[in-house]
């Protein structure tokens, strides 16, 4: 038996090597590589913290796999998700590992660029500010706008300190009084455009008192 195993051992080793080479050749056929930019998703942001800036918004991924699989990749198949549960106020550096990348099966990542992202966070602050109604147009002749009141008159907004320090009032969308002859109420949305702050209330009610002009004697 031992002699049978030893006989032609060179041919047997050669056969194994050739089999391995053939296996590598077969499995590598149709393999391809593609590069795609994938948006970064942040999860587990600590309560009371907000992201102010980040050094990168997308991550370049070099992916390898069967050509037919790579051609069928959809944006929803890919994700780069970073866990911010350990973030502190200020600048944080998060390294991107392969475990942070979601890929279709049978596709692998060969390179991640950049390999880390700097994320600056600040504490969330709250502030109460006055609501200012905006009135446009003119009432009918012989009538004037006597007063405009808003309910509620103030609102609490929240955001990072650098944003809140610049905000002292919040305006409403415009109320058009063109041609009006009597008092009316109207629900108005708050104008938060261009501001990185939030308000718990999005709509307020304005009452516009229209009255006759006083006649001169």
Q: What is the pLDDT of residue 21?
A: 45
C-alpha distances out from residue 53 to 11, 40, 56, 69, Å: 64, 13, 9, 35
What's the domain range around 155? Answer: 124-212
Q: What is the pLDDT of residue 106?
A: 82
- In angstroms, the CA 131 to CA 149 distance is 10
Task: Tell me how many domains the chain contains.
Answer: 2
Q: What is the pLDDT of residue 30?
A: 64
Is 19 a domain residue?
Answer: no
Q: What is the pLDDT of residue 23?
A: 41
- In angstroms, the CA 176 to CA 134 distance is 9
> Contact at 8 Å (CB) between 54 and 40?
yes
Cβ atoms within 10 A of the Cβ of 144, count?
14
Give me 198's structure tokens.
């939030």
The domain that contains 75 carries what CATH number?
2.170.120
141 and 88 part of one domain: no
Per the listing, tokens 């296996």 go with 23
57 and 135 part of one domain: no
Is 39 a domain residue?
Answer: yes
Burial class (CB in 10 A: 0-12, 13-18, 19+), 61: buried
110 and 155 part of one domain: no
95 and 37 part of one domain: yes
150 and 177 part of one domain: yes
- Dihedral of the CA atoms 48, 49, 52, 55 (nearest 10)? -170
From first to last of its 217 residues, the chain has per-residue pLDDT tens of 444 445 555 554 555 554 444 444 444 456 788 888 899 999 999 999 999 999 999 999 888 888 777 777 777 888 899 999 999 999 999 999 989 999 888 888 889 999 999 999 999 999 999 999 999 999 999 999 999 999 999 999 998 888 888 889 999 999 999 999 999 999 999 998 877 788 888 899 999 999 998 766 5
> Contact at 8 Å (CB) between 171 and 134?
yes
- In angstroms, the CA 78 to CA 153 distance is 47
Give me 27's structure tokens.
């499995």
- In angstroms, the CA 45 to CA 121 distance is 10
103 and 148 part of one domain: no
82 and 135 part of one domain: no
107 and 75 part of one domain: yes
Using CA of residue 59, residue 65, residue 70, residue 75, what is the dihedral sign? negative
57 and 108 part of one domain: yes
- In angstroms, the CA 147 to CA 184 distance is 11
Of 66, 81, 114, the position where a domain reaches its end is 114
58 and 84 part of one domain: yes
Q: What is the pLDDT of residue 77?
A: 84
The domain that contains 179 carries what CATH number?
2.170.120.40
């Amino acid at each position: 038996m031992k002699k049978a195993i030893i006989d032609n051992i060179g041919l047997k080793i050669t056969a194994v090597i050739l089999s391995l080479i053939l296996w590598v050749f077969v499995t590598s056929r149709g393999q391809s590589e593609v590069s795609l930019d994938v948006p970064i998703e942040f999860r587990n942001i600590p309560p009371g913290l907000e992201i102010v800036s980040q050094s990168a918004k997308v991550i370049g991924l070099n992916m390898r796999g069967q050509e037919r699989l790579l051609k069928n990749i959809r944006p929803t198949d890919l994700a780069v998700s970073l866990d911010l549960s350990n973030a502190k106020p200020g600048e944080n550096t998060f390294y991107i590992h392969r475990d942070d990348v979601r890929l279709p099966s049978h596709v692998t990542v060969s390179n991640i660029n950049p390999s880390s992202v700097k994320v600056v966070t600040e504490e969330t602050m709250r502030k109460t500010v006055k609501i200012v109604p905006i009135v446009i147009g003119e009432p009918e002749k012989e009538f004037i706008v006597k007063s405009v009141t808003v309910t509620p008159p103030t609102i609490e907004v929240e955001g990072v300190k650098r944003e809140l320090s610049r905000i002292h009032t919040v305006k409403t969308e415009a109320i058009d009084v063109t041609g009006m002859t009597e008092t009316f109420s109207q629900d108005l949305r708050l104008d938060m455009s261009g501001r990185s702050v939030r308000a718990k209330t999005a709509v307020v009610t304005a009452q516009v008192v229209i009255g006759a002009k006083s006649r001169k004697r």
